[in-house]
Structure 1
Amino acid sequence: MIRRDVSISLEATSPEEARAAIDAHQLSLDWSGDSFMAHLWLDATHRTICVDGEPVGVAGWTADESPYLSLLTLDRRAIALDRQVMEVVLDESGARTAYLASWDAHHVTTFGAYATGVGSQAYQFRLPDPGDLREPVPGLEITLATHADLDYLHSTGWQSDFASYVEKSAMSIARLEGREVGIAVHERHALDSGVVDIGMYVDPVLRRHGVGSSILSLTARAVRDAGLTPVAGCWWKNWSSRATLEAAGLVCAGTILRFDLDPDVFVRASSDGGDP
């Protein structure tokens, strides 16, 4: 039975305590996806959730003009209070949007109770069978990018900060018969060091010729050869990227969801004669 005579408050928390809650939540999931949710959790404003003065979890939301929720962890003993906790979090944060991973049952059920609309935000990909990776087009190879490649990288206009990728060895140059034709990204996951987010860019004149999927295939193979796990993501409306990822041999295994939240949904249900 849900208790109603409890005091719920949100208190200041240290970065160490917030990171511990983030790590614990990450480890509770069967799959990480790419770093989309990890970055939201890490960049959030965090508060300790207290029930009757005792800490029972951590909430996280952005601090901008239109805040959105991304994290709400609760100890098992406090799960029955999730609805009341959400009311407090929504009131203090002002958040009316949440981003959630479809495989994150804890967040989907807790935030979903207040959702008046749900939509896709990004597709998430994994590699169930390395044997499904496509054979790259002949003559294509990828080599780790160096500062000598910055002129080419900047000429693509694809990113604004190529130097940081080069410095952390997270980007490679794709060459076809020795000529630059694209870029491969292979960046360590923000929370799981055994996972690598992969992506690619192809020069416009060579798109729809199998170069993009070949770059992804070569990158995924290199990640696996290093004993790591490749994952990828793309925006939900980017069907060309989804097709390229699938052509490379990766499989859509989840979705980042966008929830529209209404803090008064239960109040209105009660006034309409629904369950309190």
Structure 2
Amino acid sequence: MTPRTRAPVAFIVLGNARSRDLFGAIAALVGYNASMSAFAQSSQPTHDLRQAYLSSLPEPQEWFLEELVEAGQFWTHEDGSYGVLHGQTLVEYFSADAAHAGELLSALHDQTSFSMALAKSFDRPFVQSLKQLGWAASVGGHLFRKRSAYDRTDIAAAQIRPATQDDVQSHWHINDDFFETEDEVRALADRGRLLTVTMDREIAGCGVFQRVIADRDAVDIGMMVAPNVRRKGLGTFIVCAMADRVEAEGLRPICGCGARNTASKATLEKAGFVSNHQLLSFAQGR
């Protein structure tokens, strides 16, 4: 998540021993079959298959996409390939059959007629399969998966504490398209995932942190600053405080922002985050 930017063909490099081992393990799991039969709508892929996909990624899953996956429609193929659609957008695609991944994606498109696709730039198999369809990409967001040294600036008047239900309306009042509903704010506070930031005893912003995948170490962080106290370094202060806290717990802070949100990108970079990856938006004939 992050200030706030409110999945995939199996990438099997056949020249790589580790990749061949992974392919063999997946093939054993799903009962490898190269036939080009139809995809079928299903409740979800098996737990082991989804874990195989997540393990194939060189970087942690993106929280924004994970939210779309959780609310998405699953289509599975008998060979173990699957896709996840959110409306008319393909948000995840995975295939254990590297040799036919592009053909299988084309078959899925013929069946479902998805009109867009969102892919992490580091999910190279998915990206390559989309390019095989002749689709072109634009950058929709910046994904931060690395953090380097930074100069921390403390703000004496700023304090951070766990949010309470009494804070909810104040956070909603200063909301600037960060939260979708007041109920979302209330739920985050209730789950202990929302931090309240005050300056001179007035609520001036918030921080949100979420474990992206329950059994993995990536924690997505995001923040919001009230309009009247922006450009004072408070955003960087919040991001640093949250990232430091996550790292102190032995976990990995990650984040992202929209491609046009230059202010958020600068804030994250000041907090030491480095973006070498993008969220790509693909469309036919772009």
What band does the TM-score fall into relative to the shorter chain? 0.7 to 0.9
Contact 1:96 1:261 in 2 (8 A): yes
2:195 equivalent among 165, 172, 179? 172
**Residues 121, 236 of structure 1: 8 Å contact kept:** yes
* Alignment equivalent of 2:94, drawn from 73, 77, 83: 73
- 1:59 maps to a residue whose letter is G
1:133 Cα shift?
A: 5.3
Letter in 1 for 2:152: R
Paired residue secondary structure (2:172): helix
| Residue pairs, 1:19-34, within 5 angstroms | 19-34=47-62
Structure 1 residue 182 displacement after superposition? 1.1
CA–CA distance in structure 1, aligned partners of residues 230 and 50 of structure 2? 39
TM-score (norm 1): 0.82
The separation in 1 between residues aligned to 2:281 and 2:81, in whole angstroms, is 23
**Equivalent position SS for 1:25:** helix
Task: Report if the CA contact (8 A) 2:36-2:104 is conserved.
Answer: no
Alignment of 1:134-213 (within 5 A): 134-158=152-176, 159=179, 160=181, 161-190=184-213, 193-213=216-236
1:193 positional shift = 4.0
Q: 2 CA distance for matches of 1:217 and 1:83?
A: 41
In structure 2, stretches of 5+ residues that fail to align are 1-33
Distance in 2 (CA, whole Å) between partners of 1:139 and 1:20 is 48
* Separation in 1, partners of 2:106, 2:284: 11
Q: 1:60 Cα shift?
A: 1.9
**Contact 2:54 2:61 (C-alpha < 8 Å) held by counterparts:** no
User: What is the identity percentage for the equivalent residue pairs of Structure 1 and Structure 2?
Assistant: 22
Matched, 1:254 2:263: no
Task: State whether residues 115 and 283 of structure 2, in contact with CA within 8 Å, keep that contact through their aligned partners in structure 1.
Answer: yes
State the TM-score, normalized to the length of structure 2.
0.79
Q: Say whether the 8 Å CA contact 1:33–1:231 is kept in structure 2.
A: no
Taking the aligned partners of 1:168 and 1:97, their CA distance within structure 2 comes to: 33
Question: Which of 103, 109, 133 is residue 90 of structure 1 equivalent to?
Answer: 109
Contact 2:45 2:76 in 1 (8 A): no
1:138/1:110 Cα in 2 relative to 1: closer, same or farther (>3 Å)? same
Show the 5 A alignment for 1:217-256.
Answer: 217-256=240-279
Hey, what's the Cα distance between the residues in 2 that align with 1:193 and 1:252?
21
Question: Against the structure 1 CA distance between its residues 237 and 192, is the aligned structure 2 distance closer, same or farther, given a 3 Å change threshold?
Answer: farther
Q: Greater strand percent: which structure?
A: 1
CA RMSD of aligned residues (A): 2.1
Q: 1:107 to 1:133 in 2, by over 3 A?
A: farther
SS of match in other structure, 1:132 = coil
SS in 1 for 2:222: strand
- Native 8 Å contact 2:41 2:73 kept in 1: no
Structure 1 unmatched runs, 5+: 263-276
1:41 matches 2:60: no
2: CA distance between counterparts of 1:149 and 1:42? Answer: 28
One-letter amino acid matched to 2:67: H
Does the 8 Å CA contact 1:22/1:41 hold for their aligned counterparts? no
The structure with the largest alpha-carbon Rg is: 1
Alignment: residue pair count:
247
1:116 is aligned to: 135
Match of 2:118 among 85, 88, 99: 99
1:103 counterpart SS class: coil
Structure 2 distance, partners of 1:151, 1:61, is 34
Partner of 2:42: 13
Moved over 6 A (4+): none
Residues 43 and 206 from structure 1, CA distance in 2 versus in 1: closer, same or farther, beyond 3 angstroms? same
CA contact (8 A) 2:175 2:226 kept: no
Instruction: Report how far residue 148 of structure 1 moved.
Output: 2.0
